[in-house]
Amino acid sequence: MNIFITGGTGLIGRALCKVLIAEGHQITVLSRQPEKVPMLCGPSVASMATLDAWQTTDKFDAIINLAGEPIADKYWSDQQKKRLWESRVTLTEKLLQCITATEYKPTVFLSGSAIGYYGDQGDTELDESAACGNDFPSYLCAAWEKAALRVKPLGVRVCILRTGLVLIQHGGLLQRMLLPFRLGLGAKLGNGKQWMSWVHIDDYVAIVVRLLHDPKLHGAFNMTAPNPVTNDTFTRLLAGALHRPAVLTAPKIFLKWVLGERSVLLLGGQRVLPAKFQAMDFQFHYPNITSAFAHLDFVGGQPQITDTQKN
């Protein structure tokens, strides 16, 4: 297949490119720094610097839309919210315009989203039919998904990737967590009862490949492992994997004061289940957090969580 990927130079994109190249696909990655694409994604991977370079005669069999500015890195000013919107919703709308204009329609469009779509629903188990939340991440995800689904009337199969925390070997959010945890300063967030829905990168890529190839699959999919954990459990197990204690607590009031509106990313949670894939008996290589942590090299490597967050 000839595959076009946005966000291909990110942590998830690079892991995906590696697998798709091994399968023999041709890949083009959208990147503002096209000269870095061969180094990051593979020497055989082509690049496109801007969607303005998309020609109506370009032929892509599949489009995988993973782009999106990290949601947790900066204060949510009006300007930053606009950047988050443009990197997700506006970019997806531009992809729609390209697909509409092209002479050769792709057969499938896989488009990113996040489990933040559901908002904070406490202990409720959330499958793909669960309602949207009512905070900023929920609103952003809903608009992002709506833009992607507008591709469907063009005769293109659409799959929405509601991504949780992705555990990966190098780079990402956990890099910021490892140092304090290694110093014995790991702390649960608030009361620690909020749910963290996660997935190992190998399982995430396997799910994407399944969605890419199976013509029967469409709609929204929860891209998470079948066993979410609370923040308290995640904190204890991460500390245990590093052979360090974790007895501290970051108070809720402190996190709200420091992070403002962004604190919802840490204090809110989603107990998400990959119901559609469970119904298909999809075999997760890492169904629980202990098996995922065991696979990651906490001593010799830099196991991390991608900064997809829960937007």
CATH of range 2-164+198-227+271-284; options 3.40.250.10, 2.60.40.10, 3.40.50.720, 1.20.1370.10: 3.40.50.720
pTM of the model: 0.93
Question: Does the CA dihedral 85-89-92-93 come out positive or negative?
Answer: negative
Q: What is the model's pLDDT at position 296?
A: 79
- Dist. CA 3–CA 270, nearest whole Å: 32
Longest dimension (CA), the chain: 60
Please give the chain's pLDDT, 311 residues, in tens: 999 999 999 999 999 999 999 999 999 999 999 999 999 999 999 999 999 999 999 999 999 999 999 999 899 999 999 999 999 999 999 999 999 999 999 999 999 999 999 999 999 999 999 999 999 999 999 999 999 999 999 999 999 999 999 988 666 666 677 788 888 888 999 999 999 999 999 999 999 999 999 999 999 999 999 999 999 999 999 999 888 998 999 999 999 999 999 999 999 999 999 999 999 989 999 999 999 988 876 644 444 445 444 45
Count CA atoms within 13 Å of residue 275 on its CB side.
10
- Dist. CA 165–CA 158, nearest whole Å: 22
Are 126 and 118 a contacting pair, CB within 8 Å? yes
> Helix, strand, or coil here: 262?
helix
Q: What is the model's pLDDT at position 297?
A: 67
